[in-house]
């Protein structure tokens, strides 16, 4: 199938914060304006807008994309909102890609916004309804259950300790100390800090989890002929993939994310990647919890099953290691305004591959990176491969 080549040409974001005074619409505008400014474009240059935002229950506003559309520059333009829970941020970039790859548009502004702080007393309340309304919600679940159940299944299958996994939280929170938009960067955090943090739902402790955050991220995508005019450093979308597992989550093997592997295989095939461990230079897997980074690295076929923690302990996933993982600081360090957090990973690859990541810059002139997000009821994988 003939597809037009698509590049990312600009990116911008707000700072990720615990509570923003700005409304969701204002945050969306802040990120969108920064992204346009970064590539010296204006809204008049944009053909279509993709909006990403996760559960509407956070905002208590129905038809959230219509509410957000003015802040996203969507007025008087074709807009679309894709929604796959936590996988939304990467999926929005995928939607931006096929808008252009199909030949329908030359330029697309992708804006992902999340304001979690409005939901009282705690945004977890917005998540309770993802459990089956008849067979599960009566048991009084909270969102941490599914992560705790999955983390325990993963740890037990591969004989991993809490210490093995805590190394991920330490790495990412330290990396985030160099990110100007980060909420929880900490250059001095230790494994002991993570292991001594409050136990929420064992094996999940406070510092195993990313924070509730407000924030927005935007990227500008363009067809090749526009991209070459706009910038001398376009970052190409080389492959995309997404995949959904069954919602009967209690019937699945929770120790391995098969749906991430399927999504990665789809993206790698499109990108012509046959040996991901050699051909991928940076990875930004989804890390709302520390074990998820390991789980997803394995699903992305970058490490053998159960072996990502060993690689972490050896320093392979450090910013100066053989395969830098979450050089941004990830969700654990930069913050987790759901859909915005995942698009932040795409923006991070954009800055890294252009060698514009400042103090976070991965050495060795990386040429190709993969970003991945995950969501719904632990069942969706969304993957994008970028290259220069």
Binding site for another protein (CB under 8 A): 11-15, 17-22, 27, 30-31, 33-35, 37-38, 60, 120-122, 124-125, 127-128, 131-136, 138-145, 148-150, 152-153, 156, 180-181, 199-204, 214-215, 246, 248, 250-254, 351, 356-358
Q: Which is nearer to another protein, 178 or 261 (CB)?
A: 178
Q: Which is nearer to another protein, 138 or 314 (CB)?
A: 138
Q: Which is nearer to another protein, 186 or 302 (CB)?
A: 186
Max CA pair span of the chain: 57
Q: Which is nearer to another protein, 94 or 334 (CB)?
A: 334
The CA distance from 127 to 15, in Å, is 24
The CA distance from 185 to 183, in Å, is 6
Q: Least CB distance from residue 134 to another protein, whole Å?
A: 5
Question: Can you tell me which residue has the tokens 């999926």?
Answer: 91
Q: How far is CA 235 from CA 12, 32, 357, 366, 385, in A?
A: 15, 18, 14, 12, 10
Q: Which is nearer to another protein, 92 or 213 (CB)?
A: 213
159 φ, ψ to 5°?
Answer: 65, 35
Q: Which is nearer to another protein, 12 or 239 (CB)?
A: 12
Q: Least CB distance from residue 172 to another protein, whole Å?
A: 18
Q: Least CB distance from residue 3 to another protein, whole Å?
A: 28
Q: Which is nearer to another protein, 255 or 317 (CB)?
A: 255
Question: Can you tell me which residue has the tokens 């930004």?
Answer: 284
Contact 261, 267 (CB under 8 A): no
Q: Least CB distance from residue 190 to another protein, whole Å?
A: 23
Q: Least CB distance from residue 44 to another protein, whole Å?
A: 21
The CA distance from 371 to 365, in Å, is 17
The CA distance from 102 to 1, in Å, is 10
C-alpha closest to that of 90 among 352, 374, 388: 374
Residue 132 burial class via C-beta count within 10 angstroms: exposed 0-12, middle 13-18, buried 19 and up: middle
Q: Least CB distance from residue 155 to another protein, whole Å?
A: 9
Q: How far is CA 304 from CA 239, 252, 267, 320, in A?
A: 22, 20, 19, 21
Q: Which is nearer to another protein, 80 or 153 (CB)?
A: 153
The CA distance from 110 to 12, in Å, is 11
Angle at 41 between CA 113 and CA 384, to 5 degrees: 50
Q: Least CB distance from residue 333 to another protein, whole Å?
A: 15
Q: Least CB distance from residue 316 to another protein, whole Å?
A: 25
């Amino acid at each position: 199938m003939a597809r037009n080549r698509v590049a990312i040409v600009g990116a911008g974001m707000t700072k990720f914060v615990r509570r923003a005074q700005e409304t969701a619409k204002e945050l969306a505008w802040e990120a969108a304006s920064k992204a346009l400014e970064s590539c010296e474009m204006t809204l008049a240059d944009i053909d279509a807008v993709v909006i990403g935002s996760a559960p509407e229950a956070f905002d208590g506003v129905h038809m959230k994309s219509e509410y957000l559309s003015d802040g996203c520059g969507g007025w008087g333009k074709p807009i679309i909102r894709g929604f796959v829970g936590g996988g939304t941020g990467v999926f929005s970039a995928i939607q931006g890609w096929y808008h252009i790859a199909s030949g329908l548009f030359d330029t697309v502004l992708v804006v992902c916004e999340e304001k979690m702080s409005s939901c009282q007393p705690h945004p977890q309340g917005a998540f309770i309804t993802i459990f089956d309304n008849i067979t599960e919600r009566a048991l009084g679940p909270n969102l941490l259950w599914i992560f705790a159940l999955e983390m325990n299944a993963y740890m037990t299958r591969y004989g991993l300790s809490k210490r093995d996994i805590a190394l991920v939280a330490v790495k990412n929170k330290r990396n985030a100390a160099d990110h100007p938009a980060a909420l929880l960067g900490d250059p001095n955090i230790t494994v002991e800090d993570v292991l001594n943090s409050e136990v929420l739902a064992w094996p999940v402790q406070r510092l195993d989890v990313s924070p509730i955050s407000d924030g927005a991220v935007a990227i500008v995508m363009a067809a090749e002929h526009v991209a070459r005019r706009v910038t001398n450093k376009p970052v190409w979308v080389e492959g995309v993939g997404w995949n959904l597992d069954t919602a009967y989550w209690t019937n699945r093997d929770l120790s391995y994310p098969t749906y991430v592997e399927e999504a990665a295989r789809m993206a790698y095939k499109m990108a012509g990647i046959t040996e991901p461990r050699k051909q991928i230079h940076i990875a930004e897997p989804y890390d709302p919890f520390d074990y998820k980074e390991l789980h997803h690295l394995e699903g992305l076929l970058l490490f053998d099953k159960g072996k990502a923690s060993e690689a972490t302990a050896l320093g392979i996933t450090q910013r100066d290691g053989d395969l830098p993982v979450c050089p941004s600081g990830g969700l654990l360090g930069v913050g987790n305004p759901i859909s915005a957090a995942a698009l932040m990973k795409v923006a991070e690859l954009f800055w890294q591959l252009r060698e514009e990541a400042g103090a976070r810059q991965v050495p060795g002139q990386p040429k190709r990176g993969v970003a991945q997000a995950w969501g719904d009821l632990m069942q969706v994988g969304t993957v994008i491969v970028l290259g220069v």
